[in-house]
Amino acid sequence: MSHPRREIWSPSRRRPVRLDRPARLAAVAAGLAIASPSAANDTLRCNQKLYNTLFDRAPTAAELSAPDPRGRIDTLLADEEFQDTFARFVNARMNWGPEDNRERNPVYNMVREYILKRGHPWEALFTAQVDVVGQNVNPSSNTVGYFENRHWKRRYAGNEEDGYKLRTAYMIMNNVIGLNLEAITVTANGGSSRDDREDPNRVCYSCHVAADFALDKVARILDRVDRQASDAQNTIFKSPEGPAQVVYGREVGSLRELVQMLVSLDSFDNQACRVAFAFVFGREEGGTEPAVFDGCLEQFRATGHITDALRHLVRSDLFCPGL
Q: Quick one: pLDDT at residue 222?
A: 96
Q: Quick one: pLDDT at residue 36?
A: 52
Q: Which of 28, 77, 24 is nearest to 51 (CA)?
A: 77
More confident residue, 203 or 299: 299
Q: Could you give the CA distance from residue 51 to residue 46 in angstroms, rounded to a whole number?
A: 9
Label residue 275 left, alpha or beta by phi (over 0 means left) and psi (-120 to 50 means alpha).
alpha
Q: Which of 269, 256, 283, 250 is nearest to 176 (CA)?
A: 269
Q: Which of 125, 130, 159 is nearest to 143 (CA)?
A: 130
Q: Quick one: pLDDT at residue 193?
A: 82
Q: What is the DSSP string of 167-235?
A: HHHHHHHHHHH----------TTT--SHHHHT-TTSTTHIIIIISTT-HHHHHHTS-EE-TTT--SS--
pLDDT band at 282 (very low <50, low <70, confident <90, very high): very high
Q: Determine contact, residues 215/207, Cβ cutoff 8 Å.
A: yes
Q: Determine contact, residues 116/126, Cβ cutoff 8 Å.
A: no
Q: Determine contact, residues 85/56, Cβ cutoff 8 Å.
A: yes
CB atoms closer than 10 angstroms to residue 235? 16
Specify burial of residue 150 (Cβ count, 10 A radius: 0-12, 13-18, 19+): middle
Q: Determine contact, residues 219/194, Cβ cutoff 8 Å.
A: no
What's the chain's average pLDDT?
86
Q: Could you give the CA distance from residue 254 to residue 218 in angstroms, rounded to a whole number?
A: 9
Q: Which of 256, 257, 265 is nearest to 212 (CA)?
A: 265
Q: Could you give the CA distance from residue 277 to residue 12 in angstroms, rounded to a whole number?
A: 50
Q: How many helices (H) and strands (E) does the chain have?
A: 15, 8
Q: What is the DSSP letter of 139?
A: E
Q: Quick one: pLDDT at residue 100?
A: 78
Model-level pTM?
A: 0.85
Q: What is the chain's alpha carbon radius of gyration, rounded to the nearest angstrom? A: 27
Each residue of 137-195: pLDDT tens digit? 999 988 999 999 999 999 999 999 899 999 999 999 999 999 999 877 665 555 678 88
Each residue of 76-97: pLDDT tens digit? 999 999 999 999 999 999 999 8
Each residue of 294-318: pLDDT tens digit? 999 999 999 999 999 999 999 999 9
Contacts 24+ apart (CB under 8 A), 230-237: 235/153, 235/154, 235/157, 237/153, 237/157
